[in-house]
Amino acid sequence: METPQNHRSIEYEKIIEKIYTALEKDSIDQFRSEFLELHPYDQANIFINLDQEVRLQIYTYLSPDEMSEVIENFELDEVGAIITEMDPRFAAQIFDELSTDDAVDIMNTLERDQIASYLTLMNREEAREIKNLLHYEERTAGSIMTTEYVVVNHNMTIKQAMVHLREKAPNAETIYYVFVTDDQKRLVGVISLRDLIISEEDWIVSDIMSERVVYASAGDDQESIAKLMRDYDFLALPVVDFKKHLLGIITVDDILDVMDEEASDDYSKLAGVADLDKNDLSAMDAAKKRLPWLIILLFLGMLTATLIGQFEGTLQKAAILGAFIPLIAGMAGNTGTQALAVTVRGIATGDAMNEGFIKRLKRESLTGLITGVICGIVIVLIIIVWKNALYLGLVVGFSIMISLIVATIAGAFLPLLMHKLNIDPAVASGPFITTINDLISVLIYFGTATMFMEYLV
């Protein structure tokens, strides 16, 4: 039986086939008929997989406005190559059609001389707005805001505000919120579209606006903005300067991109890898980005090897101890990574800070104690049954118990401490915390074994 999903997939394949046929026949009308029926996301997926020669052909089929909708659905690391292969005048016209914040994001991926060239060719007003936004530091509210929004004066009547809204709405990113400013262009309130529609025409805007406006400063970090919009369920957030002049707004679609970017960045750090989401790196470039962490971890690993060498006498007397080194080190590393992941997520969502540093640490310590005791008891029983060696089981079990407790505390403490010191907690990466816990667990294991050596031989 054909499912709706399968049916859609079959129809989609048919459309793609028709598009390729139109391109081969150089049939502009057929291509436009099929291609423009697709959602811009699907258009982008088809377009990015075409050869450059075919893409150059499509640029002659589509208007700058139509092409801008396709461009908006590309990943940022893909857009630069696409833009630079176009005729510069055509690319400049696309920048004119893009929302200001999207145009700025793309330009930030280009070289300075390329940016200057496109700005020269663009509409003067559009170029001026883009120049203003390019001055803001990356990953700040100013760098992701748009200047395409609707603002009304607090002294307007509702009728005047609605006329103004209809005039400005075609070029605005969103009209669900209408922001209100005073005569000095300072943000003083906000009105929902619903309130505007249901209000009487002769009412004054200042009488129905909400004065409790949540806003961001232009220099605020984009991650804190994302949390703010998530907590308040906003579709848009105003951005102001130090005198509360309205500079722009941040829309929810931009925040979704920020969340994706921040999640990818944190995951890269947790993995000990830079720019994990860049698939176009050469093998040499990828190796250069991974090597720094690996070299650091190599030296930490050498510390572990040196430490094991210090207990060579213990190993000679009871060689069976060597069999459990990977087990203890692995358990400690895994436990530390679990605590790290939970804590970093708690910091990202704000839960860890709401709970408090000490309370969070106590809870993770208790978790480490419970898991350590249970795992310790399990391994003691296994070794007794397997090797019929009570004291060996007790040494390994005690070592696992203490290692898991310490690893859990370390996995929670390090990111919390880094956050307190205003350092990105994701820097306490999985490989880093695993290697540190390997070192600690080996020290605990062989220290315990040495203390009870007389019972093991």
DSSP assignments along 346-401, one per residue: HHHHTHHHHH-HHHHHHHHHHHHHHHHHHHHHHHHHHHHHHH--HHHHHHHHHHHH
Same domain, 312 and 450: yes
Average pLDDT, the chain: 84
Whether 281 has a pLDDT exceeding 70, the answer reads no
pLDDT in tens, 12-31: 778 888 888 888 888 899 98
Pairing label, strands 151-153, 177-181: parallel
Same domain, 206 and 306: no
- pLDDT given at position 90: 93
Residue 274 maps to a domain: no
pLDDT band for 93, please (50, 70, 90 cuts): very high
Angle at 176 between CA 174 and CA 177, to 5 degrees: 95
Question: Alpha-carbon distance 359 to 21, whole Å?
Answer: 65
Span 367-390, average pLDDT: 91
pLDDT band for 453, please (50, 70, 90 cuts): confident
- pLDDT given at position 65: 92
Residue 179 and residue 226 in contact, taking contact as beta carbons nearer than 8 Å: no
- pLDDT given at position 355: 75
Whether 139 has a pLDDT exceeding 80, the answer reads yes
Q: CATH number, domain at 345?
A: 1.10.357.20
Q: CATH number, domain at 195?
A: 3.10.580.10
Share of the chain above pLDDT 70, in %: 88
DSSP 137: P
Span 390-405, average pLDDT: 91
Same domain, 315 and 253: no
Cα separations in angstroms, 232 against 214, 236, 240, 252 = 9, 10, 18, 12
The winner for highest mean pLDDT among 68-72, 422-426, 437-441 is 68-72
| Domain of 306, in residue numbers | 283-456
Whether 136 has a pLDDT exceeding 50, the answer reads yes
Alpha carbons within 13 angstroms on the beta-carbon side of residue 39 total 5
3-class state of residue 103 by DSSP: helix
Query: Which range among 210-224, 296-310, 374-388 shows the weakest confidence by mean pLDDT?
Result: 296-310
Residue 273 maps to a domain: no
Same domain, 111 and 228: no
DSSP 204: B
pLDDT band for 270, please (50, 70, 90 cuts): low
Whether 181 has a pLDDT exceeding 90, the answer reads yes
pLDDT band for 7, please (50, 70, 90 cuts): very low
Residue 278 maps to a domain: no
Whether 317 has a pLDDT exceeding 90, the answer reads no
Residue 118 and residue 88 in contact, taking contact as beta carbons nearer than 8 Å: yes
pLDDT band for 161, please (50, 70, 90 cuts): very high
Whether 280 has a pLDDT exceeding 70, the answer reads no
Residue 312 maps to a domain: yes
Same domain, 323 and 191: no
Q: How many distinct structural domains can be found in the chain?
A: 3
pLDDT band for 1, please (50, 70, 90 cuts): very low
Same domain, 87 and 228: no
* Amino acid in the structure at residue 332: A
Bridge partners of residue 245, in order along the sequence: 186
- pLDDT given at position 174: 85
The winner for highest mean pLDDT among 204-208, 282-286, 344-348 is 204-208
Closest of 368, 112, 145, 315 to residue 240, by C-alpha:
145
DSSP 181: E
Bridge partners of residue 246, in order along the sequence: 240
Query: Which range among 114-123, 125-134, 268-277, 279-288 shows the weakest confidence by mean pLDDT?
Result: 268-277
Whether 272 has a pLDDT exceeding 70, the answer reads no
Last residue of a domain, one of 241, 268, 295: 268
Span 221-229, average pLDDT: 86
Question: Alpha-carbon distance 433 to 268, whole Å?
Answer: 15
Whether 115 has a pLDDT exceeding 50, the answer reads yes
Whether 199 has a pLDDT exceeding 80, the answer reads yes
- pLDDT given at position 187: 95
Closest of 131, 126, 73, 76 to residue 97, by C-alpha:
126
Q: CATH number, domain at 73?
A: 1.25.60.10
Last residue of a domain, one of 106, 139, 172: 139
Residue 332 and residue 403 in contact, taking contact as beta carbons nearer than 8 Å: yes
- pLDDT given at position 205: 94
Span 58-65, average pLDDT: 92
Question: Alpha-carbon distance 278 to 56, whole Å?
Answer: 25
Same domain, 115 and 189: no
Query: Which range among 320-329, 349-358, 380-389, 431-440 shows the weakest confidence by mean pLDDT?
Result: 349-358
* Amino acid in the structure at residue 33: S
Which tops the pLDDT comparison, 321 or 353? 321
Residue 146 maps to a domain: no
Same domain, 240 and 202: yes
Span 138-159, average pLDDT: 90
Same domain, 52 and 119: yes
Residue 179 phi, psi (nearest 5): -90, 150
Span 217-235, average pLDDT: 87
pLDDT band for 438, please (50, 70, 90 cuts): confident
Same domain, 38 and 82: yes
Which tops the pLDDT comparison, 292 or 2? 292
Span 393-406, average pLDDT: 92
Whether 3 has a pLDDT exceeding 60, the answer reads no
Residue 276 maps to a domain: no
Same domain, 331 and 369: yes
Sequence-separated (6 or more) residues with CB below 8 Å from residue 432 = 272, 293, 296, 297, 300
Residue 170 maps to a domain: yes
Last residue of a domain, one of 139, 164, 185: 139
Residue 67 maps to a domain: yes
Same domain, 299 and 435: yes
Span 335-349, average pLDDT: 80
Which tops the pLDDT comparison, 372 or 434? 372
Sequence-separated (6 or more) residues with CB below 8 Å from residue 298 = none
**Residue reference for tokens 């209100």:** 180
